[in-house]
Each structure stands twice: as structure tokens, then as C-alpha cells.
Amino acid sequence: MRPAFAVGLVFAGCCSNVIFLELLARKHPGCGNIVTFAQFLFIAVEGFLFEADLGRKQPAIPIRYYAVMVAMFFTVSVVNNYALNLNIAMPLHMIFRSGSLIANMILGIIILKKRYSIFKYTSIALVSLGIFICTFMSAKQVTSQSSSSENDGFQAFLRWLLGIGALTFALLMSARMGIFQETLYKQFGKHSKEALFYNHALPLPGFIFLASDIYDHAVLFNKSELYQVPVIGVTVPIMWFYLLMNVITQYVCIRGVFILTTECASLTVTLVVTLRKFVSLIFSILYFQNPFTLWHWLGTLFVFTGTLMYSEVWNNLGTTKSQPQKDKKN
């Protein structure tokens, strides 16, 4: 029952989160910092109350290790959200972030000296090809949709290139953080809820450097049109409502993933998260009518097929089906 509930949380939370994030980004493309800050603050307060027991509970993993992890996590979160300011469309944003397997494999080979099967290299090649196709087609759209002025078009393309660079950096940094977490968990055991709290609480002082931008967008949010919240009937600026819903749905999604990691095998978690990304992508395309060509669909197919190949879903499903037959024979 709990795994089914967790899957429901992941799909409901993450798909809704994408909608509210895009509503925010479309109205104010530069709002990435205030969104990141609100998400971090909400999860940190919840963790302080229920995980850290108002600061009375000692962490199982020393704070100095969390400090390193937090520096990486904070950087990844800020850069990923800031990329939306740089002519990066939401569908491309989601597809690009689905390429985390590539970064994990590259850094795993370099840092952990891992070796993989031909099957896994093939799956990564599919993911890479899919991301390249989607990125290349998005580049053509950026140049064609820009102003007729050649100078404006070139500037828009440069901003888009900077956005691609930001996403690439965040992808590699996220993979490096995953390797660091893996080594910590081997040494101290898994404490994912504790890690969730410290990853969001410790970076909060870092938002001081972004305070000016956060304040400016808070002022802009206050000036947005008023919206009457259903059921409770309270009237608030609509951008604050979008932000609140984004934060709540982000928390629901994270909680769902946390329950899955404690109740299911890692393969199941990978499959659910992959399917969730695909459903979120469909939501974004259909709900917001984002431009998505046949080439984009082909690239998306390569990305998700490669991801499923990497996680060896079909092999494991075949093993699961054959297991009951063996039991009957015995």
C-alpha cells in the first residue's frame, strides 16, 4: 500500500510542480532565485521540526561532510533554476536534466574507476544522441524566433548557449554530488531524510548574496493580479499563490521519492522517476503548447529508451515473471 501511495505522491507532486514552475517562469523569467529560496526554506523548516527535533537530534553524518555536499547541492539548484532565465524552454530543461546517467557514467569511470557493459554504453549513447537532437532543434528555434534584427538574434543565441552551458555544469556537479553521497552512505549508512534536511538548511545563509534579486521579485510578485484561492476564499497576488503551490508540490514529490527509496528497490525508483519525467514533459507540451517538433519527439524517445535500457528494466521484469513459474515447478 505504501509503495502505491508513494508513486501517487511522485506523479501528483512532480507533474503539478512542473506546471506551477512554468507559470512562474513565463510571467517572470528571472524568478529562479526566489523559487529556489522558497523551496529550501520550506523543506528546512519542516526538517527542523520533525527530523532534527528542534536541533536536539545529533546528525549521524558529521556536519563537515554535509558542508561539502551542501555546497554542491546549493550550486546545482541555483544554476538549474537560473538556466530558465537564459532562453531555455521547459521541455528542453527537463530532457537535458534526464541526461544525468551520462554524467554519472563519465564521473564514475574517472573517479571510481568503474567499468560498464557494452549494453550500458549503448544505452548512454542513445541518451546522448537524444539530448543532442533536442538541443540542436531547440537552437534552430531560438534563432528563428528571435527578432528580425541580426544583432538581437545573435544575442538571444548567445544567451541560449550560456543556458546550455549552465545545464551541462549542473548535470556534472549533480553527478559528482551523487558519487560523494554514495561514498558517505557506505561509510555512515543511509540517512536520506537527515540528508534532505541538512542539504536544504545549511545553504540558507548563501541566499544573502541573492537577497537583492529575491527582494526585487518579491516586489514584482506583490504587484501581480489578485487571485481568490478556491475553498478558503482568501485573495492573494497570483504569483505568490503559484509560488506556494510550487513549494508544496515540490515537497510532496520529494516525500514520495523518499518513501519509494525506503520501500522499493533502486530499480523501481529509477523506473518511476523516469516515467514521471516523461509524463511531466507531456504535461508541459500539451498544457502550455510549447513548440515540440517530430525531431524533439525522436530525441525524447532516445533519451527515455536509453534510460530504461541502462536500468535493465526488461531483464529484471523477465526475471520477475520467470520466478513464479520456478516456484510452481518446485
Give the model confidence (pLDDT) of 62-75 as tens digits.
Answer: 999 999 988 888 88
Share of the chain above pLDDT 90, in %: 22
Residue 299 domain-assigned (yes or no): yes
Of 149-158, 168-177, 233-242, give the lowest mean pLDDT range.
149-158
Residue 38 domain-assigned (yes or no): yes
Do 202 and 70 form a contact (C-beta atoms < 8 A)? yes
Mean pLDDT value across residues 317-326: 51
Mean pLDDT value across residues 57-86: 88
Residue 322 domain-assigned (yes or no): no
* Domain span at 211: 1-141+154-313
Residue 148 domain-assigned (yes or no): no
Residue 111 domain-assigned (yes or no): yes
Strand pairing partners for 187? Answer: none
Report the pLDDT value the prediction gives residue 176, as an integer from 0 to 100.
Answer: 86
Residue 330 domain-assigned (yes or no): no
Mean pLDDT value across residues 197-212: 91
Mean pLDDT value across residues 95-122: 79
Go through the chain and tell me how many residues it has.
330
The 3-state DSSP class for residue 290 equals: coil
Cβ contacts of 2-6, under 8 Å, gap ≥ 24 = 2/259, 2/263, 3/259, 3/260, 3/263, 3/264, 3/268, 5/259, 6/256, 6/257, 6/259, 6/260, 6/263, 6/264
Q: Is residue 291 left, alpha or beta, with left meaning phi > 0 and alpha meaning psi from -120 to 50?
A: beta
**Nine-digit cell string for 63:** 556536519
Distance of CA 105 to the CA centre of its chain: 18
Domain count, the chain: 1
**pTM (predicted TM-score):** 0.73
Residue 202 domain-assigned (yes or no): yes
Task: Spell out a b/e string for 96-119, using b for 16 or more CB atoms within 10 Å of the CB, else e.
Answer: bbbbbbbbbbebbeeeeeeeeeee
pLDDT at 203 over 60: yes
Residue 324 domain-assigned (yes or no): no
